[in-house]
Homo-oligomer: A and B are copies of this chain.
């Protein structure tokens, strides 16, 4: 039995607690939050769970094996570091930290202490992303050529991070499941309409080695909600529309072939459109998968799917995007 302490019971915390409560080998024992009203809500729903206003109580408790951190991004590093140093396994909300340096330090500590450090990139555990990954691995899609994501909506404006840091981690983590290549560089543009320099609307291009490109469109200021990803392969293409209630993934037997290249720039292209296939998806709540993977990793010592390494690679891209956007689209290498 893994005893869990949770730090932060705001927007996402209750979902984490509910899902960890439903996992067999886990038990939520302690929850910390600065707000009394939230702790009262905990007590009403989970009378046996200990509550505290002091996160250190969780971190220092001898009853706790693993700490789940659901705080604002800027607080991730300090809480995770303390918890790791206190010998606890750690699951952090996405993105892992607000800088790659901090992420690397956390990874180093976890490695030294032989502890699991995991990031909650929830989307990786959805039926849709698992299906896309397996389609890709089966070879049915062919070599990936592009990845195009739109995640726009009205609200919620963040105070500390821009729309890229807030929204793109979802799509970047999905991309990382499908593109088995290293990101080379990024170009980002965007705009802030709130006068505080925090972009509410932004665009990000990631260049990969080997003629692959990814693009992300994120916004807090769209009148309509769109959550759509296109994946172009050499054999087939995928459309993932997360707003479809059940038919989220469509596989298009669509493509084109270069017939001949007679002279420079003179190409004949043969288009092909065929059947479309909408696979049935695993319907398990994704966050349950996150909780189970964390507990399994603790018990087996194996790396979770949503590893700290993946979390670091996401942070590196966000960091480069930040630099590019502040330099009006300058290409920034992803180191």
Contacts and interface: CB of A to CB of B under 8 A. Distances in A.
Interface stretch (A91-99, A101-109, A218-226): A218-226
Nearest to A161: B265
Interface stretch (A58-66, A207-215, A296-304): A207-215
A159 interface: yes
A183 interface: no
A148 interface: yes
Q: How many copies does the complex hold?
A: 4
Given A230-B222, A237-B223, A256-B154, A328 B203 contact: no
Given A47-B47, A195-B258, A146 B271 contact: no
Interface stretch (A117-125, A169-177, A274-282): A274-282
B146 A221 contact: yes
Interface string A267-293: 101010111111110000000000000
Given A146-B193, A185-B328, A253-B280, 6 more contacts: A191-B212, A223-B252, A243-B245, A247-B276, A329-B329, A329-B331
A239 interface: yes
Tell which of A212, A265, A277 has the most Cβ of chain B within 10 Å: A265
A5 interface: no
A328 B280 contact: no
Size category of the A interface is: 35 or more
13 contacts: A148-B222, A154-B271, A187-B189, A187-B329, A189-B207, A191-B211, A196-B264, A196-B267, A221-B232, A223-B232, A246-B273, A250-B278, A276-B278
A292 B331 CA distance: 46
A275 B261 CA distance: 39
Contacts of A215: 189, 203, 217
A177 B67 CA distance: 54
